Structure formats: C-alpha cells, structure tokens
Chains A and B, each alone.
Chain A
C-alpha cells in the first residue's frame, strides 16, 4: 500500500545568512515569508495558518501584520517538529496553508544570553527561575559538552570521531556559495582538535555558528500542492515528542532520547526504512548531537555513532548524504534553525541546488530537529517527490 501523502511543502526561502546583518529580525522574517509564498506561487491572502515563535515573532503579531486572523498552528518553530504541527493542523481541517517562519538579528547564542536589565550593574544578584541552570554558569555549550563527556565514558567515543562531523559538513559548506564558513575552505580533523577548547571536550569547531538570518517554508494539502508553481515535496510521515523542560531538568538518562520515538513513527507512516532514504537533514548544533541522533534514529546502534560518522556515512558520496548546505556547523545557525534542514532537503528533492552538492536523483529525504538540555525535544519527518 502506497503511503498517504499527508501534506506537501510547496515553498521555501532563505534570506542572506551572515554573522551580522544590519536589519531588524522582523524585516528578515518578512522577506522570508514573502519569499516562501512566492516560491510556491502563493500570496499572503492565501495564508491561513502560521508557526512562528521567538521573541518578537508570534502568531498574534503576524496576524496583525498581515491584516487578518490566522490559525496559530504550533509553537515549536523548528524544522521537522513544525512540519508535524503544520500537517496535523492541516489534516484536522483547521487551516489549509501554513507558513513556518523564523529569523533573527542581534541575538547571540552563548554565555551572554543571561542579560542584566539596564546598563547599571546591580548591587544585588539578579534572580532567575528556581532551577535556571544559568546559576551555574551554564549555557548551551556546557550542556552538550557534558553529554559528549558521558558518551566518551560509556562508549569510548573519541574527539577525533566527533571531529569527522565538523570536517564533513565544512566540506559540504565549501560546495555551497551561500554558506558562512564555506569560503574559509575545508578543515581537517587536526584543525578541529587544535581549535580552542570552549567547554571540554568540545572545541570551537565542534560548535555551530551563531549568526543572523531567516528562513520560511510553506505547507499545504497534497491536493492543492499539485496546482502550484514548484514540484510538490510531499510529507509522508511526521512526528514529534518532548522529554524535558528547557535547559533546567535533565532526563533521567541521555538514552534513549525521544528521537527513538519520532524517527520510527515518521518512517513507519511513510512506509520507508533507513535504506530508502536518499538525503538527510540532521540537527547539528554540535558534533556530538549528530552522533547521538544517528544512534537514536537507528542509522547505527547506541554507542556506535562515533565510528559511524568516522566511516564517512554522512558525506556527499556516503551512504546517507547529510546537511549538504554545510549545516548549522558551517552554513548557518540563526537562532531556531531546525527549518534550515527542511529547506535544504526540499531543495535537494526538487533537484535545484548547485550541481556540486546535489544528491543525484534524490527521491526520499528525512529531517530531524531537536532541542532542550539535551536531546529533550524532537521532530522527525519523511519528505518525498514523485
């Protein structure tokens, strides 16, 4: 039995992605929203649902900007998670055309994220939520560094193995003229290991970028997709799950993560197995993230992620070409960047990226995003073209 075409992604758009962009976040988001609609051959009047979160961007604000009520179709504003949310809303008949949009400028990821109000240094310590990990000087990198350390302890994973992820995605970035790091050329495992230690065991080049930029993509019914401008990229499966709160409460263990639920669910809906997948977009905020996700998504066994990536499986010519835009590590991490992987996989399946990084004859793609401390929130989707 052929899998159901649950919905389709019909438009995608990326703005410029750069270390600094001298425009407001709203301006970047608006360009992305309009661009994704135009890519689909749709107009703002066709839109009736939105997934947008992050600071100044939410559904209510967008409804007033667009001058009409919209369905608030999700809160994740990530990639595959947002696909799952959009598909659920569309198939429930709550809306028909959903745009997922995110973008930011002037927002940095790192230890500076704990800000003190005003310009005056307080003489009393600022008070945070009861279990806010910033009390311990925590930010995103130490969380993932702790996961990497535990993985090394349990499974003997090495820094050299992790470095393979950064080396692979940097190579892909060099094939993508729009990537931020591609112009700096390829890197070696030694380059990663010799880069500055940020949070042991993660080096600078084990970490993603923190930059400006926006993306958007449009999801609608499979039926409507057939009459639009571009070749429809059908959603054959999509799932999401969450397993802790943002960066304060640890799961009782790092294993198994909710990826062990979302990956198999999305693939089962689609009626595919790993061997059917031609191209992947895997959330790569850190090298260790990819290693862990490949394990929990079943591309390899738990504990074997290090050797799996070191074997070259994720390279352009490997078994599962992954993040061919350069990923969050070398293309762009613009705040809530899960949708970047969706945009890239859609373009791969349409066959419209630069020839040097195009996976030949790609028919079925898979995207996975994650977030929270760590591997706490997940979405997976299977995308395909006829």
Chain B
C-alpha cells in the first residue's frame, strides 16, 4: 500500500468481448476488428460491422500508423492530470480503410510547436505501473 499525493489517472475497464484488443496492447500490438464478410476495419470496437452488420469478425494486428486528424493542446484538466499540463489530446486517422478509424488518445514525445494536422504518427504502448493494463498513445512517426 502506497499513499498517493494526488489522484491516480482513471483507467478503462476491459470487457470480455474486447479482451483480444487489451491483450494485444500488452504484446505491443494495436489490434482492430476486421469484418470477414466485407473486409472493413472498425473502431471503436463494435459487436457487428457498421458496413454490413456481419458479426463474423477477426481481431488483426493493425499497422499502428496513421496521421493526426485533429488535436487540442489542453491547459486545464482535472487533478489527476495536473502534472501533465499542457498535454496534447489527439484523434488519429489510422491507415486502415475503407471505413475511417479515428482513435482518440494523446500525442506524446512531441514539442507543442511541432504539432500539425496531417502529421504522420504511430502508436506507442504504455504499461501502467502496478496495474494489469497497457494503454496506447501516439508519437511522431
């Protein structure tokens, strides 16, 4: 038991349905659902393909590459994020097509003045200390 001086950042609760995704992160793979009926990738994970409604799905390792679709530099945030300010929230458009896969996360290892919409980025992995979970972030490619 350790005593924290400030709140810890909240973490997601992986679902049984999407376990392959969270397991993939631990192996440094960013996995997407691929529809076996029509070949569309989708994000966020969903029970069925938004293109054809097929449930016939395979989890596949994605490229982890994309471009910065939009972002914000955040100067005000909750107490758990106080030490991170300013941080860059990022929505990344993955390379996978044809449906647009827009992934929300942070852009890290990047100077504020170097960020621009359209910049090439790639996924990075962050194992959370003392927790059984790995999160995904983006860094300049």
Residues of A within 8 A of B (CB): 110-114, 116, 121-139, 141-142, 145-147, 149-150, 153, 196-202, 248-250, 252-253
Contacts and interface: CB of A to CB of B under 8 A. Distances in A.
A139 B131 contact: no
Given A111-B81, A134-B10, A135-B9, A199 B72 contact: yes
Nearest to A112: B78
Contacts of A126: 7-8, 10-11
A141 B75 CA distance: 11
A123 B3 contact: yes
B128 interface: yes
In this complex, the member of A137, A141, A146, A153 whose beta carbon has the largest number of chain B beta carbons within 10 angstroms is A137
A141 B89 CA distance: 11
Interface of B: 1-15, 18, 44, 69-81, 84, 87, 89, 91, 99-100, 102, 104-106, 117-118, 128, 130-131, 135
A199 B3 contact: no
B12 A127 contact: yes
Contacts, number: 133
Contacts of B10: 114, 125-128, 132, 134-135
A367 B60 CA distance: 45
A149 B71 contact: yes
A199 B71 CA distance: 10
Contacts of A252: 99-100, 102
28 contacts: A113-B78, A121-B5, A122-B8, A124-B130, A125-B128, A125-B131, A127-B12, A128-B11, A130-B12, A130-B18, A131-B12, A135-B9, A135-B11, A135-B135, A136-B104, A137-B80, A138-B89, A142-B72, A146-B70, A146-B91, A150-B117, A197-B73, A198-B75, A198-B76, A199-B75, A200-B72, A202-B72, A249-B44
Given A127-B12, A130-B14, A135-B135, A150 B104 contact: no
A119 to B, nearest CB: 12
B15 A137 contact: no
Contacts of A150: 69-70, 117
A142 B44 contact: no
A133 B104 contact: yes
Contact of A125 (B11, B18, B70, B106): B11
Given A110-B76, A124-B8, A130-B14, 16 more contacts: A111-B76, A111-B78, A114-B10, A125-B8, A125-B11, A128-B13, A129-B13, A136-B89, A137-B84, A138-B89, A138-B104, A139-B77, A141-B76, A150-B70, A153-B118, A202-B72
A253 B75 contact: no
Nearest to A141: B76
A213 B9 CA distance: 31
Contact of B4 (A121, A128, A137, A250): A121
Nearest to A252: B100
A141 B12 CA distance: 21
Nearest to A151: B70
A147 B104 CA distance: 13
Contacts of B8: 121-126
